[in-house]
Structures are given as structure tokens and as C-alpha cells.
Amino acid sequence: MGLFSKLFQKKEERPVVRDRTVLSLQVGDIVVYDLTDYEVVGKITYRDHSYEWIAYQLLEGRNTIWLSAEMDDELELGIYHKIPLQVSEPFPKQLSYEDKTYYLDEEGNATVVGEGRSRNINGRTTHYADYYDEEEEHYLSLESWDSEVEVSYGYPIEEYEIKIIAGSN
């Protein structure tokens, strides 16, 4: 097994791992945020007519947060977590949470594509609404799933605040 065997042996093909962005994360990838490693365990793609945005369910131990990503005029990112705020439909023009008032920014209906832990909502439609505070430092996001309204509290982040490690091809 000398020089000739090395020259003529087949090279092992290594899978090519594609670069990830916040708009192309996949279930199984790792997102490092605020010095914590989170695994992407769910992904929801929302479509309201021609507009699309994505929410990634990130898990670290028992801690779950959501990373929201959308390309509007520029990339917009936010971190969200669910809160126990009771809201019913029709959605109000303003909401109060932790002594702050939040104002309705937009609402509509979106069909969703769910992957990973979110696959059980694949193909469904949700009525959603987004609210902002006066300083636009924090947001409330509402999603109606049948008779339940989920409320999430969030804030914007910048792309440089996260690092992505691809978990697969």
C-alpha cells in the first residue's frame, strides 16, 4: 500500500454543508444567541397573500424562545416568548401588558407551513395581529388557533447578535 494505492484510491465524498442565514435555517440547526446555544426544533412559514415571514422555535433545555425573521425593505429580526395574556377576538386596537400600552400595527390571516415540532399546524390558517409600544422597543404578537389566542412578547435584535451553526446539509 504505497504510493500507487494512495494515487488511485477513491476519495471519500463529503457532503457539502450550505451556508445558513436567518432566512434559511432548518430544523436541527443551532442558533447561538445571548451566549446560549439553542437548537432549531420547529419552523413556521407564514404566508399572507404574497408576503412571507418565518418563526423558528428555539430550544435550550426547557427554555423555548422564538426567532422571527422577515425581509421587508430590510431584514427584520425579533426574539419572542409566550406570555399568559388573555385576549379574545375580535382583536382590540390596543393592549396593556406590564404597565405599557401596545398599539395595533397590522392584522390579517396567514396560511402556515409547519416543520419539526410545528408540523401539526401545517396547512392551517391563523388570524394574527402585531402590536408595538410607543418607543417601538417591544412588541406583542397574537395568533388565533381555533378558539385559543396565543400571545407572545418580543423585541427586535440585529443579525450580528446571533451565530448560526448548520446541523445538516
Distance CA 44, CA 80 (A): 14
User: Looking at the domain assignment, is residue 93 inside a domain?
Assistant: yes
Please tell me the predicted confidence (pLDDT) of residue 18: 63
Of 130, 128, 87, nearest to 109 by C-alpha is 128
Please tell me the predicted confidence (pLDDT) of residue 147: 85
The set of long-range contacts for 32-35, using a CB threshold of 8 Å and a minimum separation of 24, is 32/162, 32/163, 32/164, 32/165, 33/58, 33/65, 33/67, 33/79, 33/157, 33/161, 33/162, 33/163, 34/161
Overall domain count for the chain: 1
Model pLDDT for residues 17-74, shown as the tens digit of each residue: 567 899 999 999 999 999 999 999 999 999 999 999 999 999 999 999 999 999 989 9
Of 10, 11, 14, nearest to 169 by C-alpha is 14
Model pLDDT for residues 114-168, shown as the tens digit of each residue: 999 999 999 999 999 999 999 889 999 999 998 899 999 999 999 999 999 998 7
User: Looking at the domain assignment, is residue 121 inside a domain?
Assistant: yes
Residues shown for the chain = 169
User: Looking at the domain assignment, is residue 33 inside a domain?
Assistant: yes
* Segments forming the whole domain that contains residue 55: 17-165
User: Looking at the domain assignment, is residue 6 inside a domain?
Assistant: no
User: Looking at the domain assignment, is residue 72 inside a domain?
Assistant: yes
Of 146, 140, 141, nearest to 126 by C-alpha is 146
User: Looking at the domain assignment, is residue 112 inside a domain?
Assistant: yes
- Joined together, the cell numbers standing for residue 156 give 427586535
Strands (E), 16-166: 30-33, 36-48, 51-60, 63-71, 75-83, 94-97, 100-116, 125-133, 139-145, 148-157, 162-165
Q: Is the pLDDT of residue 13 over 80?
A: no
User: Looking at the domain assignment, is residue 9 inside a domain?
Assistant: no
User: Looking at the domain assignment, is residue 8 inside a domain?
Assistant: no
Distance CA 120, CA 124 (A): 9
